[in-house]
Each structure stands twice: as C-alpha cells, then as structure tokens.
A and B are shown apart, each in its own frame.
Chain A
Amino acid sequence: MRRARALLPAVIVALAGAFAFREMLRGAELRVDDASIVARYAENLVHHGQLTWNVGEPPVEGFTGYSLLGVMIIATLLHVSPLSAALALGIVSLGAGAALVLRAHEPLGASPLAGSVAAALFLGAAEQVTHATSGLETELFIALTVACAFIAVSRAHLPPGAGRLWPLPLVATALVFTRPEGLAVAGAFLLVVVIRERAALRVWLFWTGLLTVLPVAALQLFRRIHFGGWLPNTYYAKLGNPGEQGAFAASFGEHFQAYFLPAVVAMIATAIVARALGRPVTPLPAPVKSARQALLLGAAPGYLALSWSYLRSDLVMGYSDRFAFHLFGLSSLLFLLAVAEVDRRLRSLRESAPAHSATFVLACAALYLPFANAMQRAPKERAFRDSYARATETHLLPTARLLKEILPPDATLAVYPDAGVVPYSTMLRTVDFGKLNDTYLAREATGTASVAEYFFDRSPDALMISLRAGLARTYDEGGDRILSDPRFEPRYRLVRLSLRDGGGLALFVKR
C-alpha cells in the first residue's frame, strides 16, 4: 500500500505526459506564421550581419522577445533549421515547466500527490500542446514564470541572504528577454523576495543589479540605439481597437472556468465543511506560510499586468484566444495551492466518517473536472492545429513557390497581413501590412486612406493579401481600400487565387 502510494504521483504525471505526447504526434505539424518572422530576423543577422526585417533598410523590431531569437540565431549558426530549434525549445519548456510544478509541492507544503495532480494538469491542458509545438516563445515564457515563482517560494525556506542568490535575478532576466511583459512577473517576485530578505539587502541589490538591472538596461539602450524606440514595434502594432478587447476577456474567463475554478470551488467547499464539522486544521509551518504568501503576492501583479497588456492588444490572428495561456504557469501553481488546501482541510475531517467520505469524493470529482475539460477541448485544439497547417500547405507554401519562380530576388513583396512563411521562404524584401515589421504602419498610419497611400508610395512588385470572402472582402478595410483604389487595377494583375470556403489569399503582381 505504501509503495503504491509512493508510485501514484509518478503514474499520474506519466499518464499526463503520455497524453500530451500522443497529442503532439496526432495531426499535422503546426507552423505558426509568426515563428517564421523571428527566423527571418535570425537568418538576416547570421547571413548579412543585420538584425533587421529587410536587409539594407532601417532596422525595425518586429519580434516579441530575444530568447527565441537567440535560440534561432544559434541554430542558424549551427546550420540547424531555426524553426526545428524553436519546436524543440517549446517541447523542452513544456517538460521543464511540468517538472518545476511537480517540485513546487515541497516549498508550498503540499503532498507529492497534489504536486503530481498540478503537474498533470500543466501537461494535459489541451492548449499546452498547441503552444509547445507552435514555434513561438509562449511555452518558454510559461515555463520561466513557473521557474521564477518556484525559486521565489523556495527562498521562503531559507534565512535572508542564505544559499545561492543568483538564480532568481538570472531567471527574472530571462523572463524579461522572452516577452516584455515578463518584467511585471519577474519584478513582482523579485520585489517580494527582496522585501522578505531585506536583512540581506546589500547582497540582493548586488545580484539583482548585476544580473537583472544591468542586462535589462543594456537591452533598453540597445533597443533605443538600434531600433530607435524604447518599446518594440510589435507593441504599437498590437495596440487595440476597443471593439475586439472582449475576446481576450472571454479567453481569460474561459481558461479560468475550465482549469482553475473547479479547484477553487472544491477548496472553498472543503474549507467550509471542515470548519463546520471537523477538528481545527493543523497550522502551517512558518516557512510554508511565507512561501504561499510569496506565491500569491508575486502572482497577483503578474496577472494584473498581463491582463492589462492583453486587454489593450489588437486581435492579429486566429491564434489570439490562446494568449490567455501566458498565465497558465502561475495558474498551475495556484491550482497546486488549492489542491494542497483541499488535502489539508480533508485531514481535519477524518473523524467525521460520512462527511469526510462525501467531501473526499466530491473534491476528487471537482479536481477531475479540469482534466475532463482538457480532454473535451483536445479535439478542438487538434482541429485548430490541423486547419492552421492545412492553410499553410494550401495557401502559403504554393504562393511562396510561385513567387520564387516569377519574381527576381531583388523584387519587393507586400504582405497583407501574413508576414511569416512567405517572406521567410522567399527572402524577398517585404512590406508588412500586418504592421509588426513596419514602423510607419504600426505607429503613424491612421485610417484606411493612409494605408492605401503607403501601398502605392512603396509600389511593391507583388501583393499577397488574405481574403475573408473572396476578392469582395479582404482581411480588413485597409486591404479593401487598396484593391478598390482606381490605381490598383491598371498596375496589378491577379496571378493566383487560393480560396477555401470563401477564405484564402490572392497574389497580384505588377503588370
């Protein structure tokens, strides 16, 4: 019995890992368009010595973070496909994040079983496989938030200034370099730890200054000098229009309801029953209490900052309802905390046999609910990955092949708005009407008229434009304006129309 109890956590994590692995192997390979944008920057730096979108043009920062870029640069230097390296990074991050969630049970005063349930949810949540195989930095970011929180809660068990101090500032910096909003999460956990360990303030200031403040300041300086701004171009490109903000709020709500709320409900119900019927609960040891406080205090500003940041962002692609998942690492640790509390309160009910049994069964069912939700969502996620991959195969790759055949290498392409696969495959000079890689469109263009004027000013040799309902309705009003402009028809001719259920893309080249 004791041996079975010891093995159970490992079995739970192994089952969830097998589920995630099976989901990865099923269906088509996902290749999110934006991953190719980062790969283009990496190749431009390695092959042309310029960290820029178009070689020879003023630099623009059209990527989200430097960690993924760094990995892709190293891969390119080693003659490995940067997209394969990004895929490997995502999968490794998924495993590492789960391992850290599992290990977090110790500092948070939870049982190994509680840790394994939280780690299993981290692995088994349907969207995790999508993120791990997207080629983007999301899964790395999620894993780094867990790492940051893990180090912060582990420090609660040490006297101020004891042990190794460098890991937290180092991970915090990695978090900031991975996504800019990592600053909020990293800053919150660093602040919580430094305040708790204020007796060793000098040592902390040294390590934080050396490993966090200096690198982040250097990055900002580099950004200002090289790209000409304090914030990346992606920030301006995604600044929201109010009509679409509800999608992010709905996404947050949906994820909260599916994966986190059942544990909270179970925790509250168990606490009420235990208080009404059970013996007083065993008080938590001071370090565990301190660790839990550190997690809650560190996570709260992170949630607020990330929510604020995403609520202000525009929906750029169909991938966006998954953005709420950047919080999933912290949510998994809070889920672990809820499971630990359910476990602790149940122990106080042991002498009340009928109530204990009923509460135990109901709490187990509530903790199973996130897994049931994950399994229900898995086919939907698989369908999303398949349709995304099919769209790439059907629309983007054939267009890229055609462009290579019909355009000279020094031609200019305009993309509206998918700037990933085609510009990366063709390596043509590209004007990005998706705004991520174009300073004017992201920061200065106002209204559809200025977008159309910019198009005719740049006078690209070809235009690849996404369609929503054939040529009658393109990606947005700016695209419609370009196609309906009287100057367009005499200058451009349609060479490829790739449609499926009305959606798809059109390729025009200069007459």
Chain B
Amino acid sequence: MIRRLVATAGGLLSGLLLAIAVTPWSGVDAISGRPSNALVALSSAAALGALVASLASTGDLRKRGRHAVAGASLAVLTVYLLRNLPLPWLNLLALDGTAGLAGQLPLFSLPLVGLLAGWIFGARAPTPARP
C-alpha cells in the first residue's frame, strides 16, 4: 500500500512539474482546441504516462516496457477525455497557471494523469503473469 501511495504521489508530482514546464511553452491557451496545443497535450501525457508506469511497476525490462505502453495509452485517453468532456471552468492564476475549462489546463490535466498512472501501476500486482 505504501508503495502504491508513493507511486501515486510521485505521479502527481511528475505531472505537476511537467504542467509547470508546459504551461508557459503552450501559452495562455494551455492545451485547448488548437491542433498544436492538442499535440502538446497528447504527447506530454503519453510521455508522462509511460514514465510513471515504467518507474512505478516492478519486474523485468520487458514487463516495464509493456506497462509503459499501457500507461502512455491510458494517459492519452485520459487527456483526450479531459479536453473534450464538458468539465467546469477553473481559475489557476493564483498558481501562476491559466484559467479555462478544467480539462484544458495542464495544471489540472497532467497531475491527474500522473496520479492515475501511479495509482494503477504502483499496485502490487497490476497485471497477471503472462502465460
């Protein structure tokens, strides 16, 4: 359980750091509807998901690789949903962030992705042994 909590906290922190890096780069539009911003959103989420999943999981390199692929895939799906679902409007200006629809703010989306990846792949047995 402690391992899982550490992985979750690590995922959250990684997401936060990545969001802080992405926000000034992608401008005030954050990761909103523009194609270039969508690309930033999806690629940064994929990288984050893969990183957190591979670090949080245990096992050999092959297994970690499989987890990284799954983590990247789940992260992309999460960000795709966050960007498209009619979520509430958030104001993160106090955190030197941006304001807008919740899913379109990196400071909201990316930590959530990291948290999710840490929670899933930090579990003791996230996947059964392959036959």
Q: Which residues of A contact B (CB under 8 A)?
A: 262, 265-266, 268-269, 272-273, 276-279, 351-355, 358-359, 362-363, 365-366, 369, 372, 376
CB distance from B75 to the nearest CB of A (A): 9
Q: Which of B69, B80, B119, B131 contacts A276 (CB 8 A)?
A: B69
Instruction: Judge whether B126 and A355 touch: CB under 8 Å.
Output: yes
* The one of A268, A278, A354, A363 that contacts B123, using a Cβ cutoff of 8 Å: A354
Residue positions of B touching A, CB distance < 8 A: 66-67, 69-70, 73-74, 76-78, 80-81, 84-86, 116, 119-121, 123, 126-128, 130-131
B interface: dominant SS? helix
Q: A265-B77, A362-B77 are in contact. List 17 more A-B contacts (CB 8 A).
A: A266-B77, A269-B74, A272-B73, A273-B70, A276-B67, A279-B130, A354-B120, A355-B70, A355-B74, A355-B120, A355-B126, A355-B127, A358-B119, A362-B74, A365-B81, A366-B77, A369-B84
Nearest chain B CB to A434 CB, angstrom units:
36
28 residue pairs bridging A and B, Cβ less than 8 Å apart: A262-B80, A265-B80, A266-B77, A268-B73, A269-B74, A269-B77, A273-B70, A273-B74, A276-B67, A276-B70, A277-B66, A277-B67, A278-B127, A279-B128, A352-B127, A352-B128, A353-B126, A354-B120, A354-B126, A355-B74, A355-B126, A358-B116, A358-B120, A359-B74, A362-B81, A365-B81, A365-B85, A369-B81
Task: Give the Cβ gap from B43 to chain A, nearest Cβ, in Å.
Answer: 15
Residues of A within 8 A of B126 (CB): 277, 352-355
- Which B residues are CB-close (under 8 A) to A369? 81, 84-85
Expressed in whole angstroms, the minimum distance between the Cβ of B121 and any Cβ of chain A is 8
Query: Which A residues are CB-close (under 8 A) to B81?
Result: 362, 365-366, 369
Describe A's contact surface by its main secondary structure. Answer: helix
Knowing A354-B126, A372-B86, the reply to whether A279 touches B77 (Cβ < 8 A) is no
**B80 near A358: Cβ-Cβ < 8 Å:** no
**What are the nearest 3 A-B pairs in CB distance?**
A269-B77, A272-B73, A276-B70
